[in-house]
Amino acid sequence: MRKIKLYIAMSLNGKIAKKDGDVHWLESIPNPDKIDYGYQDFYKTIDTTIQGRNTYDQIMSWGIDFPYSDKKNYVFTRQKGLENTQDVEFVSEYHIDFVNQLKQQQGKDIWLIGGGQINTILFNAKMIDEIRIFVMPVVIPDGISLFESIPVESQLQLLESKKYTTGVVELRYAIA
């Protein structure tokens, strides 16, 4: 069975973006050695992405080509009737059923890109298999939490922790 992996950066106080969705604060972390934090290796292990509509809109606002066009991409939304693009398929109903079916298909793992709402929905439904968080050495005073609304109380098993010269700490958990 395919696994869903949440691979995400957050501030020390648990924010994945500023209130308006901006993530440019990530670029303010000095990284003179251009460490990619294992991103390229991780990216090779997935063939599918899931992201919420706000995250998708934020990415599209950057004025760049869609960055995951070599993967199968799903955008979860409550809005019905959105037209799929060459890069993404919009899923507006039965999100948990959809993810259950997706996990049963043949393929590589699935990257849950975020944001906070879809993270919570899938976490509460026990659909996330692994969480890989990069705690950035910055505090964001007002922003979007890793889990929006209320996540269910759950035990996690620490699989690995790493510290980087940039001050970033990586934590990798399995859901117990």
Residue 62 has pLDDT above 90, yes or no: no
8-59 per-position pLDDT tens digit: 999 999 999 999 989 999 999 999 999 999 999 999 999 999 999 999 999 9
Tell me phi and psi for residue 55, to 5 degrees: -65, -45
Give the model's confidence band at 153: pLDDT under 50 very low, under 70 low, under 90 confident, else very high.
very high
Instruction: Work out the burial of residue 87: count CB atoms within 10 Å of its CB; fewer than 13 is exposed, 13-18 middle, 19 or more buried.
Output: middle
- Where exactly are the structural domains of the chain? 4-117+144-156+168-175
Q: Give pLDDT, residue 149.
A: 81
Question: Structure pTM?
Answer: 0.95
Q: Which fold has domain 4-117+144-156+168-175?
A: Dihydrofolate Reductase, subunit A (3.40.430)
97-143 per-position pLDDT tens digit: 999 999 999 999 999 999 999 999 999 999 999 999 999 999 999 99
